[in-house]
Amino acid sequence: MKIAQIAPMVERVPPKKYGGTERVVHALTEELVRNGHDVTLFASGDSITSAKLESVFPRNLRDARVKDPYGVNFWTLLNFGLAYDMQDDFDIIHDHNAPISLPAANLATTPTVVTMHGAFNAENRKLFQTLSSPHIVTISEAQSYAVPNLNHAGTVYNGLAMDEYPFSESEPEDYLLFVGRISMEKGTHLAIEAAQQLDKRLIIAAKVDKQDLAYFKEYVEPALSERIVWIGEVEEEERNQLMSKALCFLHPVTWREPFGLALIEAMACGCPVVAFNKGSIPEIIKNGDTGYVVEDVEGMIEAIQNISAIDRRECRTHALTNFSAKKMAEGYEQVYKDVLGV
């Protein structure tokens, strides 16, 4: 199949540090090329890919400090605009830029699959319901519940090259881990609360975005100590090492997260996950087997106390079986076939 993958331009594909969507697009693209497809990747010019790279700008927008990288900027418009302009070159277009690209995707004459990587809400829901030509893939079942009359092509869980993640048989070290972005939605303060109450060491390997600075200053910074340690945003390899040695991974999200990418990465490293029961979480964690799905900080504390009951090998097996890049690519290949009627 001749496939266009349209990545966001915010981060490199794959990203150096943070950047879930770009990480997933990279894994999918590599797998599709391996399966013999003719793939063109529309992404930042510093991207690393086995596919043909089409790029309108040499660097990722974050590194290039482009104003408003997540919003209306000319490189984002040009990136997906060019892909749709070249639509006749492809059997199928797979777009990861919605909702900003949806008005264009809605007019494409080449069959178009759009993965919604963000959360649906009262406003963007209407957009997806009205501009309903593209075939929408959700990244969890929970995500799709919010949108009746979605032109839903199915759910395909995010996957990554799971076997590349480190795994060790040795005993974990005695620290809890929080990874990603420091913010109210991600519940950094709740992870801190749990660690403080148990008097356990917590490592926070996470970035602070400008809009989250006030939150950081009020809820996180004052709690930092010898036991509550913030090490900033770390590169992938260091992060994976942290995951493979942590007692457990804390994910006290306060919003209906459509998918928790860091969770499958932690499990691939053999690290059990304790997460709040929101959105897609129960679809990702096998409760009691690969970690615990809890309701609040009290539940999180209890779960951490019972973490030795979780078999770290089972965590890895679960991640490799259900959230591999291979499995994700099979899912999307099936969607492409369904959409093309072949």
Site for a copy of itself, residues 283 to 312, rule: CB under 8 A? none
Span interacting with a copy of itself, options 78-86, 144-152, 238-246, 258-266, rule CB under 8 A: 78-86
Among 112, 79, 111, smallest CA distance to 10 is for 79
CB 304 to a copy of itself: min, Å? 37
Under the binding rule (CB under 8 A), the answer on residue 209 touching a copy of itself is no
Q: What strand order describes the sheet that includes 135-138?
A: 52-54, 38-42, 2-6, 92-95, 112-116, 135-138, 152-155
101 or 244: CB nearest a copy of itself: 101
Measured between alpha carbons, how far is 57 from 23 in angstroms, rounded to an integer?
19
- Amino acid identity at 310: I
Q: Is 131 in the site for a copy of itself (CB under 8 A)?
A: yes
Looking at 1, 53, 64, 82, which residue binds a copy of itself (CB under 8 A)?
82
Q: Residues 50, 124, 151, 196: which binds a copy of itself (CB under 8 A)? A: 124
Q: In this structure, what are the phi and psi dihedrals at residue 207, rounded to the nearest 5 degrees?
A: -90, 160
Alpha-carbon dihedral angle through residues 223, 229, 235, 241, given to the nearest 10 degrees:
-140
Antiparallel, parallel or unpaired: β 201-207 and 228-230: parallel
**Which member of 35, 52, 118, 130 binds a copy of itself (CB under 8 A)?**
130
Task: Note whether 77 binds a copy of itself by CB under 8 A.
Answer: yes
Q: Is residue 93 within 8 Å of 84, Cβ to Cβ?
A: yes
Are the C-beta atoms of 265 and 291 separated by less than 8 Å? no
Who contacts 66 (Cβ-Cβ below 8 Å, separation ≥6)?
73, 75
Which of 150/328 has CB closer to a copy of itself? 150
Pick from 59, 63, 89, 106: which binds a copy of itself (CB under 8 A)? 106
Do residues 31 and 327 touch, judged by C-beta distance below 8 A? no
Q: Is residue 53 a contact residue for a copy of itself (CB under 8 A)?
A: no
Q: Contact with a copy of itself (CB under 8 A): which of 2, 52, 126, 313? A: 126
Residue 330 neighbours by CB under 8 Å, 6+ apart: none
d(CA 220, CA 228): 9
Q: Would you count residue 50 as binding a copy of itself (CB under 8 A)? A: no
> According to the binding rule CB under 8 A, does residue 81 interact with a copy of itself?
yes
Which one of 102, 147, 150, 242 is in contact with a copy of itself (CB under 8 A)? 102
In angstroms, the Cα distances linking 151 to 8, 113, 129, 138 are 22, 10, 8, 11
Q: Counting contacts by CB under 8 A, is residue 231 touching a copy of itself?
A: no
Q: How many residues bind a copy of itself (CB under 8 A)?
A: 32
In the complex, the smallest distance separating the C-beta of residue 212 from a copy of itself, rounded to whole angstroms, is 16
The residue type of 259 is: F
Cβ proximity to a copy of itself: between 85 and 171 the closer is 85
Residue 99 touches a copy of itself, criterion: CB under 8 A: yes
Helix (H) or strand (E) holding 188: helix 188-198
**Residue 68 within binding range of a copy of itself, rule CB under 8 A:** yes
Does the footprint of a copy of itself cover residue 103 (CB under 8 A)? yes
Q: How far is the CB of 107 from a copy of itself (least distance, A)?
A: 4
Beta bridge partners of 80: none
The answer to whether the peptide bond before residue 282 is cis (omega within 30 degrees of 0) is no
Question: Can you give the binding site for a copy of itself, defined by CB under 8 A?
Answer: 56, 68, 70-72, 74-75, 77-78, 80-82, 84-85, 87, 99-104, 106-109, 123-124, 126-127, 130-131, 133
